[in-house]
Chain A
């Protein structure tokens, strides 16, 4: 077999990059199966004596199921509401005619560029007044609508030929039914993959829950992880890595199942 060296050098570069990217992942998974002593003394990727003791400690030292369900509830609420509000808003921006439509849209899109840290404190103060501090619904509340979702769904809706909507208009179909029976089915793959991205982002969110949540019963997975590695938390690295491994299970699983949609959504546009 002939080797094309001009291509080979790129393959070598990419293989190195992939190894660099995957190494922390493999490190986390392998460390979670090590004893505490081995975790500190060896950096081998294969544990000398694999053990489940770190996982046992996860379930005995923290309320893992409670924390898992907190994370799941927040991510589900945030994803569902972001999608629904984005669907309605994008539909209005694409299919309604109203004054100041374009300026309003650009105003809305500009909020994407406001750093999280700017709104963090005002949101915190508001939620304190509302008595929603240390409450998982308080974490979800300021994230129920999102301009990124509106932007992405609007792009997909614009790909729907206007004649399809006009057929419905001539058939006296209400906007609600046009959204339900035409728009949503056509852009379903886009809705799915945008939803997955919302879900994973919320699942991995750390800073905002860290500000809002005080008691362990209301923790999310990323806060639980911090219990085992922070200065006040401790230094049980195998347990921390076990929590990390468990945290990435669901997003990875979701991606594995839906990768066809996700890749498709970002690779192609519209319905043709």
Chain B
């Protein structure tokens, strides 16, 4: 039995189909990330699970029970909102205990749960502050605490870290994983930030245009992207994509020939087919000196990120970016580029879906 299961779920707002017949199964205690750019339908999907929006068609099961028409309050869901949704007129303790107080939980149980949440989220000493007297990071932790004390089966988070600065975000990511390891709720986490997705998620669902493009572990989403959308979306800077053609032992890439590793030569069915070849910027090796198989280019622009350097150049009118661990050109524009054949991804030229990898 899945903890959360969606079967052919659709959501239509007016005439716009926001979720287009989507299937998704989430295991009990799993951390699942819904990752996508704004407007892709990921937040709507979360709201459909919570019941704050109704499903147009399809079925939603929570703990095996059909939940399409279940009231949000009956779904045993705790949710954290992007704007934290703290009650401005209640202090920290009263915000955290709100749901428990309304449901007439015994006072000693309320104190125990609130005390625990305050301790886990480092809110000690702030119990009697109003939300406006708290910093962004503290507000975010109060919102988390309020969701935790419910001890619900499902924990939904809608871009909970996007209003924090970068340093706090890194800290909050670790905190979230730590909290999940204590409570083991089924967690669905919406974000547009791929770092959050990669670090928090046990599985990532990449959402685009109301459909799931790929659902897999963070490592597979990065190393085995299912199609060109996922390939471009995950990773920063984006993966380079070229029109290419596979041949026995070689790949023809914009007039250059790249010698392939063994596994690929076995895939004779693909020989001669037009494909899209994807190469991560890290897999494009640039050097100042010529070497065997390296092709000369003229670098147009470079960016120094501190820990690594990015070089931009064009190959047959297409912009290519290469990332090197350090500046190897020292202001020079003449360079030679080479592709690491083990780091290639191939996609069907027509559908954009991944062709596979050598065994």
Q: How far is the CB of B85 from chain A (nearest CB, A)?
A: 4
Asked whether, in the complex, the Cβ of B87 is within 8 Å of the Cβ of A171, the reply is no
Contact present for A170 and B73 (CB under 8 Å):
yes
Q: Restricting to B47-92, which residues have a CB under 8 Å from any CB of A?
A: 50-52, 71-75, 77-79, 81-83, 85, 87-89
Query: What residues of chain A lie closer than 8 Å to B72, measured between beta carbons?
Result: 166, 169-170
Q: Is the CB of B52 within 8 A of A173?
A: no
- Pair B85/A167 contact, Cβ less than 8 Å: yes
Binds B, one of A5-13, A35-43, A65-73, A179-187: A179-187
A172 at the interface (CB under 8 A from B): yes
B residues near A252, Cβ cutoff 8 Å: none
What residues of A have a CB within 8 angstroms of the CB of B146 in the complex?
167
CB contact between B87 and one of A164, A172, A177 (< 8 Å): that residue: A164
CA–CA, A169 and B73, complex, Å:
6
**CB of A271 within 8 Å of the partner chain:** yes
Q: Among the listed A167, A177, A185, which residue makes an inter-chain contact with B81, where contact means beta carbons less than 8 Å apart?
A: A167
Partner of A171, one of B51, B52, B73: B73
* Interface pick from B20-28, B97-105, B231-239, B266-274: B97-105
Set B52, B71, B88: member contacting A166, Cβ < 8 A: B52
Contact A166 B81 (CB under 8 A): yes
Contact of A172 with B73 at beta-carbon distance under 8 Å, contacts A163-B83, A167-B79, A167-B81 already known: yes
Residues on the B chain within 8 Å of A271, using CB: 88
Say whether A181 contacts B102, CB under 8 Å.
Answer: yes
Q: Is B345 interfacial (CB 8 A cutoff)? A: no
Instruction: Count contacts on A: residues with CB < 8 A to the other chain.
Output: 17
List of B residues within 8 angstroms of A173 by Cβ? 73, 99, 102
CB-CB under 8 A from A186, the residues of chain B are 87-89
Task: Assess whether A172 is in contact with B103, with CB atoms less than 8 Å apart.
Answer: yes
A161 close to chain B: CB less than 8 A: yes
Asked whether, in the complex, the Cβ of B102 is within 8 Å of the Cβ of A171, the reply is yes
Residues of chain B within 8 A of A161, CB atoms compared: 83, 85
Q: Are A171 and B85 interface neighbours, CB within 8 A?
A: no
Return the contact of B79 from the options A170, A177, A182, A185 (Cβ within 8 A): A170
Contact between A170 and B83, CB atoms less than 8 A apart:
no
Please, how many angstroms separate the alpha-carbon atoms of A173 and B146 in the complex?
15
Cβ-neighbour of A185 out of B71, B83, B89 (below 8 A):
B89
Query: CA of A173 to CA of B52 in the docked complex: distance in angstroms?
Result: 14
- Complex Cα distance A47/B75, Å? 76
Query: B149 → chain A, closest Cβ, in Å?
Result: 11
- Which residues of chain A come closer than 8 Å to B50, judged between CB atoms? 166, 170
Contact of B141 with A by CB under 8 A: no
Which B residues touch A170, using CB under 8 A? 50-52, 72-73, 75, 77-79
Interface residues of A in 169-199 (CB under 8 A from B): 169-173, 177, 181-182, 185-186
Known contacts: A163-B81, A166-B79. The answer to whether A171 contacts B89 by CB under 8 A is: no
Give Cα A251 to B98, complex, Å: 38
Q: Is B150 an interface residue (CB 8 A)?
A: yes
Q: Which A residues lie within 8 Å of B79 (CB)?
A: 166-167, 170
- Evaluate contact between A166 and B85: CB separation under 8 angstroms: yes
Q: Nearest Cβ in chain A — how far from B117, in angstroms? A: 15
> Could you say which residues of chain A place their CB within 8 Å of the CB of B71?
172
In contact, A171 and B103 (Cβ under 8 angstroms)? yes
> Closest approach, in angstroms, between the C-beta of A264 and any C-beta of chain B?
15
CB of B224, distance to nearest CB on chain A (Å): 36
Nearest-CB distance from A227 to chain B (Å)? Answer: 47
**Known A166-B52, A186-B89: A171·B98 in contact at CB below 8 Å:** yes
A182 adjacent to B87 (CB under 8 Å): yes
Q: Distance in Å from the Cβ of B191 to the closest Cβ of chain A?
A: 17
Residue on B nearest A182 in the bound complex, by CB: B87
The interface centre, meaning the residue of A164, A170, A271 with most chain B CB atoms within 10 A of its CB, is A170
Chain B residues proximal to chain A, CB less than 8 Å: 50-52, 71-75, 77-79, 81-83, 85, 87-89, 98-99, 102-103, 146, 150
6 A-B pairs, CB-CB below 8 angstroms? A163-B85, A167-B79, A169-B73, A170-B78, A171-B99, A171-B103
Q: Which are the 5 A-B pairs with shortest beta-carbon distances? A: A172-B73, A171-B99, A163-B85, A163-B81, A185-B89
Give 16 A-B pairs besides A163-B82, A167-B79, A186-B87 with Cβ atoms closer than 8 angstroms: A161-B83, A163-B83, A163-B85, A166-B72, A167-B85, A167-B146, A169-B73, A170-B52, A170-B72, A170-B78, A172-B73, A172-B102, A173-B73, A181-B98, A182-B87, A186-B88
